[in-house]
Structure 1
Amino acid sequence: MYVVVIGGGRLGYYLLKALLNDGHEVLLIEKNSALCDGINKEMGSVCLHGDGCETAVLTEAGTSRADLLIAVTGDDEDNLVACQVAKYKFNVPRTIARVRNPKNESVFKKLGVDSTVNSTNIILEHIEHEVPSHAMTHLLTLHGKDLEIIDIRIPDNALTVGKQIHELVLPSQTIISLIIRKDSKPVLPRPETTVQAGDQFMIVADASKETEIRDILTAAA
């Protein structure tokens, strides 16, 4: 699947890593040239410098052959425009937009955006030190496939701390796509990767299995 991601902030960066790890062809479009250069140095030529709302940039990105476009900039208007241009100019079959203001969700859907991501949950991730019990954050819902991209933080007292990935008994079709560690580069999980306290697991999973996955990964010793 070819995926175009608009916006190279934290969410866009994580999505890029997760999708690449799952074997998809992905191109990220980012306005900030320094940020784009940094991503390309780390991951190869996967970031295009430009405005994802502009037809010329989307043309250069090969958007006409994309299966999915995901707009996750910090600006609702930019995300809406990028999705509309992708859908109606380039005939992209599916678009997903990040929405910072929940009041805009209905407008996005009326204007043809297939799925929206309410950024309220993303904000909760940034204040998690004030809400220690908030172990799971929803990052993205893939409607039509009943899949969620979720972020689960491993508590210090979790039973899973010290175990290797292959020892975790998770529901079928659960994919741990990326592990974020404090003061460290993101880790692409391998069967022998050891779970550490404070790890953030970026997971693609069946929406109906969220609670089960959270309970398995965060249960106290």
Structure 2
Amino acid sequence: MYVVVMGCGRVGASLAAALLRVGHDVAVIDRDAGAFQRLGPDFAGQTIVGAGFDRDVLIAAGIERADAFAAVSSGDNSNIISARVARETFGIDKVVARIYDTKRAAVYERLGIPTVATVLWTVDRFMSTLVSDTVPTKWREPSGAVVIAQLVELNEDWYGRSVRELEEVTAARVAFLIRFGEGVLPNVRTVLQADDTVYIAAVSGTVGEALARAAQPPPADN
């Protein structure tokens, strides 16, 4: 998947890095070239200086071949204009915008543009919206720091592998399984089976990446 991210603040940089880590291609747009320092020296994506609602800037970022667009700058107006240009001018289906004003967010949701508020799980919501059709969070503790989520797409190559291996790859804890309709509390010797429904516990901001890693085959054995 090719994703264009407009805005390279903390959320934009974190989102771009998370998308790259799970194998997607990313371009990041920001008005301030200095903002790209947040991406780090090893950033493998594309960076473009300019306004995210400028047609030429979007074309330079590869919007015409993009599968998804995220507007995460610090301004509501810039985000929603950019999101609408991506959706209405370039026909991008998966578009999401960060909106600070909750009343305006409701309006844009009715226009068919998903919005994300400035909460602890912002990156998780963006990842789920951009690379998945569902938001699989089942429980979040009161501070929002820990989440339990369903692995809605577990690659079949994980079957026969241990829970411990899955935990190492996803950097999450397998909280429990549903197997043959019954709940199972796994231990380090538990082996994943076909038709298991797997629920993980993870820190907010890492859930989307964990889901994406689980959807990929396990790494090859050395």
Partners of 2:135 and 2:32 lie apart in 1 by 31
For the pair 1:168 / 2:173, whether they are aligned, the reply is yes
Structure showing greater Rg: 2
Which of 122, 146, 165 aligns to 2:134? It is: 146
Q: Is the 8 A contact 1:64 1:90 kept in 2?
A: yes
How high is the TM-score relative to the length of structure 1? 0.61
The percentage of counterpart residues that share the same residue type is: 27
Residue in 1 aligned with 2:15?
15
Q: CA deviation at 1:118?
A: 1.5
The CA RMSD measured in Å over matched residues stands at: 3.3
Note if 1:29 corresponds to 2:17: no
Contact 1:65 / 1:92 at 8 angstroms: preserved in 2? Answer: no
Q: Structure 1 residues 92, 23: CA separation in 2 closer, same or farther (over 3 Å shift)?
A: same
SS at match of 1:96: strand
For residues 22-43 of structure 1, the C-alpha deviation after alignment (integer angstroms, 9 at most, x for no partner) is: 1111111111111225536341
Structure 1: which 5+ residue stretches go unaligned? 123-136, 155-162, 177-198, 207-221
Greater Cα offset, 29-38 or 140-149: 140-149
Tell me by how many angstroms 1:104 deviates. 0.7
Matched, 1:203 2:176: no
Q: Matched residues in 1 for 2:101 and 2:60: separation?
A: 30
In 1: Cα distance, 2:204 partner to 2:107 partner: 32
For the 8 Å contact 2:6–2:70, the answer to whether it is kept is: yes
TM-score normalised by the chain length of structure 2: 0.61
Contact preservation (8 Å) 1:79, 1:98: yes
**Cα deviation 1:112-167 (Å, max 9, x = unaligned):** 41x11022x24xxxxxxxxxxxxxx454153572236997469xxxxxxxx99539
Partner Cα separation in structure 2 for residue 175 and residue 28 of structure 1: 30
Unaligned 5+ runs, structure 2 = 148-163, 177-197, 212-222
Displacement of 1:109: 2.3
Contact 1:39 1:47 (8 Å CA) reproduced: no
